Structure 1
């Protein structure tokens, strides 16, 4: 058996783990990174963020050509398109391979030793990794846990066959004729909308009374309207049951049993931290419910054992994991760091897209010390010029009434995901309304809506 000793051992090669590894290498820390199976880049790069956005992009192109067929659109006409999903998936896989190669090169440049295999901990600082070349025992001074998360499986809808998770939904070889999505959160809606654009008949079953229940109704209404316009069946306040004989059993909001025909059932009821199967119980770390408990340095209750990313709790977002991984590497190298962001912006790549950062209307409900201002994308020239101004989209600013400090920013509309970094930056810098109003925003861009919303909050918007 091979035995390795290292300064830093990282378990998990996702966005938290590999970023931690690169930063450790840059800081001169001897580092071993164990990749447990998803591949370099983890869930996000291999079966999550990147491949899903590739499929969403392909679906949008297909929809555009479909619109041009028949009477045409914008003066453009085309023949009716066809989709070979296997070739689309092959293109998507090529993007993933390219990014895998890039991450591998960055880790190599940082002199990080990558070991492919499944790690099992015997104690807090020692693990055994089963590799193709045999077992390897690794002991480390510091351990960074970055094992990520996995889809939640319903006991009455176990994954397998035609009951699939988001992972399988990104690698289908053909567009299903009838797709039923169980779960109306962002993952289910992103994929459900994409497959509707590709021609599938889509139904969504959601326990809550509306889609995307974690967002306020004004933000989700444009998405709801898109679903209705495009013939997506919505079963809200409904509970899913078993699947058999090509149909999913559900109980409607009124308590009536119903059977929905389905070629595939996509279950997207959430994700859970990957805490089983690698010996967490042998490490002696404290838990916070299903998550590993960490402080504001991402330190666990065990000395020199750290945890980052989805393992540490909400929000379960790739960019949070990356920021935590980078921070922990710097702490191990002796720097004084804390994880205390003002906000972690989130994006739903639905149709239209949704962005949220900081406080929302539900967080300030009933308060009379805040200003809320909304500016419609329909009043923005760039939005109209790219067909993004007629779906009810808007930018919203929430600020303190007393000092005009910006407390929250939201947007819904086509392509508004690109506003997310500007939103996060302004909140992180402690900007006030006058800061945004004083920036000369480029014309024509969607960012002008942010400018106008801030001006409107100050009482002098120009274009409304």
Structure 2
């Protein structure tokens, strides 16, 4: 067994995505608490931060985990081949044009990269992708974030909490557009309250970097263009799959908008060739990729496994406040023909949230009125990225409202809101 890697083991998530960004966000979170220490009866004099040291800590966290992956490869007797691999057969890879690896199966997991804004190439100086934003050469003073998905909102949150003046532009009619509409509306108000400027239904054009900053023209809902100056711009408008130049065309591998098509088990249309992760399509999440890898390998090994169920994949945004969800939004559930029962419970009704000083947010649950099936769950507030897995497990076990109602939740915890939201869907909420 061998793995071919042209950069660093662990992929984008470990080295340039999920992990190092969480390290950055932890620093900004702590800084936020320090600057608001008086709310907790504490006193801190002249708080400050060192951006270089914050970045250094983030890189060390990624480096530690990268070393851990190297250890796992060695422990499990996986040969690591460093270089650029190209498919020269369905089950053959040629590395750097010379070394040939043959196997019975090949799994393509080449991932994806940031999409550039049309007409503007990210230069790492004034115009950034997520990779540049993780190792900033300077602290932005006035930052424009183009795109309001999870990546855009997380960086907007980090830089806002560390003192930048932040504007977020989203071309659709709401931020975090894949989330439930109630969550999007709450987040827009919460981020605006923090001092961010949020522009939805807007377009950015004529992004022109200069020596001292970047000019950008923003056309809002009213159709009137406005040209403004920023110190830096982060482009977070999606990803492009890494499918070019790896030999797919010669083998006739089926793709859809650049992504490799698989059958839910990882199989492509070419015998012996498999594809998983970001290169195989949405959702572009590390935990989806990891689970796809497990499904593919277990299928190759002849084990009986279920295909990937994308409806059960949770999504998390680690901004302040956090956002987490799984399953259908209320609108999608109704669109799919369900008669729904919807429950909602606010953080202000939870004792632990009030004690933490984190009383803003809510938990929302969507049930099928006829069967009691949990169709979706949507959360916004402190630590919801840790809470969502409870609903993920509930959906996996095909739990109905009855089981959730009769489950005992520990007190005092934020998880009690999960219980109350279920109760509220059926008119039985206890504490609000």
**Cα displacement string for residues 293-337 of structure 1 (whole angstroms, at most 9, x for unaligned residues):** 111221000011111111111111111111110111111112122
Runs of at least 5 residues in structure 1 that lack an aligned partner in the other structure? 1-30
Provide the residue aligned with 2:102 in structure 1.
Answer: 139
2:334 to 350, 365, 372: 365
Contact 1:178–1:262 (CA<8 Å) still a contact in 2? yes
Residue of structure 2 equivalent to 1:127: 93
With normalisation by structure 2, the TM-score equals: 0.95
Shift of 1:220: 1.7
Distance 1:94 1:244 in 2: 31
Q: How does 1:52-63 map to 2 (within 5 A)?
A: 52-63=21-32
* Cα distance between partner residues in 1 of 2:35 and 2:208: 32
Q: In structure 1, what is the Cα distance between the partners aligned to 2:224 and 2:430?
A: 52
Select between 362-371 and 189-198 the one with higher mean Cα deviation.
362-371
Given the alignment of the two structures, is residue 66 of structure 1 paired with residue 56 of structure 2, yes or no? no
- The question of 1:82 aligning with 2:45 is answered no
* Secondary structure class of the residue paired with 1:453: helix
Secondary structure in 2 matching 1:365: helix
Number of matched residues?
425
Deviations 1:363-421 (A, max 9, x none): 123656221111111111111111121x2x11111112222121111111111111121
Identify the residue that residue 217 of structure 1 maps to in structure 2.
Answer: 181
1:264 to 232, 246, 256: 232
2:126 touches 2:209 (CA, 8 Å); kept in 1?
no
Residue 367 (structure 2) pairs with residue 399 (structure 1): yes
Residue 83 of structure 1, CA deviation: 1.6
Matching residue of 1:429: 397
- Greater mean alpha carbon deviation, residues 399-408 or residues 442-451: 399-408
2:208 to 240, 243, 246: 243
Q: Helix, strand or coil: the match of 1:141?
A: coil
Instruction: Specify the alignment match of 2:425 in structure 1.
Output: 457
| Equivalent residue in structure 2 for 1:192, among 156, 170, 174 | 156
How big is each residue's C-alpha offset from its partner over 1:221-271, in whole Å with a ceiling of 9 and x where there is no partner? 222122211221222222111223422222232222222221111000011
Secondary structure, aligned partner of 1:298:
coil
Mapped to 1, the partners of 2:295 and 2:44 lie a distance apart of 51
Q: Separation in 2 of the partners of 1:197 and 1:297?
A: 42
CA–CA separation in structure 2 for the residues paired with 1:300 and 1:411: 35
1:314 aligns to 2:282 (yes or no) = yes
Q: Relative contact order (alpha carbons < 8 A, sep ≥ 6): 1 or 2 greater?
A: 1
Name which of 102, 107, 110 aligns with 2:76: 110
The aligned residue for residue 33 of structure 1 is 3
* 1:96-125 deviation digits (Å, cap 9, x = unpaired): 111011111111111100111111222222
1:344 is aligned to 313
Q: Does 1:382 align with 2:330?
A: no
Is contact 1:120–1:129 with CA below 8 Å preserved after alignment?
A: yes
- Assess if the C-alpha contact under 8 Å between 1:243 and 1:249 holds in 2: no
**Large movers: runs of 4+ above 4 Å:** none
Matched residues in 1 for 2:73 and 2:102: separation? 20
Structure 1 range deviating more: 277-286 or 362-371: 362-371
- 2:204 aligned with 1:204: no
The separation in 2 between residues aligned to 1:295 and 1:313, in whole angstroms, is 12
In structure 1, what is the equivalent of residue 381 of structure 2?
A: 413
* Contact residue 340 and residue 367 of structure 2 kept, 8 A: yes
Over 3 Å counting, the alpha-carbon distance change for 1:289 and 1:457 in structure 2 is: same
Secondary structure class of the residue paired with 1:87: helix
Q: Alignment partner of 2:168: what SS?
A: strand
* Contact 2:5–2:83 (8 Å) recurs in 1: yes
- Equivalence for 1:293: 261
Hey, what's the Cα distance between the residues in 2 that align with 1:74 and 1:388? 11
Counterpart secondary structure, 1:202: strand
| Alpha-carbon shift at residue 344 of structure 1 (Å) | 0.6
CA shift at 1:281, angstroms? 1.7
Q: Distance in 2 between matches of 1:397 and 1:405?
A: 11
- Tell me the equivalent position of 1:179: 143
